[in-house]
């Protein structure tokens, strides 16, 4: 997949390449993909369904075991499974906020928590190349511009202050989302 835009961030010791592409997140060839999951971790529509279909039954089996042991995954939290049949080692599942269920400030905080929790898990699992979907912008109704602003700000803050990652890719399903990310970085 060709990169639509790229920009590097980081300190003088490390830098992380942030980029956005339009494409299918199940084809990302890195260390981990983030799944915009539901609290039951049961697959479903959108990104969640696509990851479960492409990744095969082992991902769902791990999710079911996790839910049996821990209960539903709270909004803003994350957990990790193996990559199944995907070209990654890990799938990091996170539950984004449903826009209409929260006041805007709380929804933004919960969405930012999704990105931070996912990045933390990625580093704990020695994943240096991670791809994110546009969390909560589908059926969960988060306004796309606002969600992209939260995503870019949260990830940029993380890579500038926390453990280094080599690459973070925002995989945009639509041209509209890709244009939003490009506009945020001024390219």
Q: Where are the domains of the chain?
A: 5-184
What is the Cα–Cα distance from 111 to 59, expressed in whole angstroms?
Answer: 23
Q: Are strands 32-37 and 78-82 parallel, antiparallel or unpaired?
A: unpaired
C-alpha 9 chain-centroid distance: 18
User: Which among 108, 107, 119, 127 has a CA at the least distance from the CA of 155?
Assistant: 119
Distances (CA, A) of 106 to 97, 98, 103, 111, 131: 9, 11, 5, 9, 24
Could you say which architecture CATH assigns to the domain 5-184? 3-Layer(aba) Sandwich (3.40)
In this structure, the chain runs to a length of: 187
Query: How would you write the pLDDT of the chain (187 residues) with one tens digit per residue?
Result: 333 333 333 333 348 888 899 999 999 999 999 999 999 999 988 999 999 999 999 999 999 999 999 999 999 999 999 999 999 999 999 999 999 999 999 999 999 999 999 999 999 999 999 999 999 999 999 999 999 999 999 999 998 888 679 999 999 989 999 999 888 866 5
User: Tokens representing 32?
Assistant: 């981990």
Candidate list 24, 29, 31, 48, residue with the active-site label: 48
* Residue 24 designated active-site: no
Q: Please calculate the CA angle 110-102-174 and round it to the nearest 5 degrees.
A: 65
pTM of the model: 0.91
């Amino acid at each position: 997949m060709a990169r639509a835009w790229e920009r590097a961030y980081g300190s003088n010791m490390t830098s992380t390449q942030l980029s956005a592409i339009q494409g299918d997140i199940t084809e990302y060839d890195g260390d981990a993909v983030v799944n915009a999951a539901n609290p039951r971790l049961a697959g479903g529509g959108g990104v969640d369904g696509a990851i479960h279909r492409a990744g095969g039954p082992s991902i769902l089996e791990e999710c079911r075991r996790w839910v049996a042991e821990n209960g539903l995954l709270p909004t803003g939290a994350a957990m990790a499974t193996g990559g199944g049949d995907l070209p990654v080692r890990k799938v990091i599942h996170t539950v984004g906020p449903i826009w209409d269920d929260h006041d805007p400030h709380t929804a933004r905080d919960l969405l930012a928590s999704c990105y931070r929790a996912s990045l933390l898990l990625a580093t704990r699992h020695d994943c240096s190349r991670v791809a994110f979907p546009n969390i909560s912008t589908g059926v969960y109704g988060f306004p796309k511009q606002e969600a992209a602003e939260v995503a870019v700000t949260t990830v940029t803050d993380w890579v500038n202050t926390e453990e280094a990652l080599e690459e973070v890719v925002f995989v945009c399903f639509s041209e509209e989302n890709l244009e939003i990310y490009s506009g945020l970085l001024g390219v």
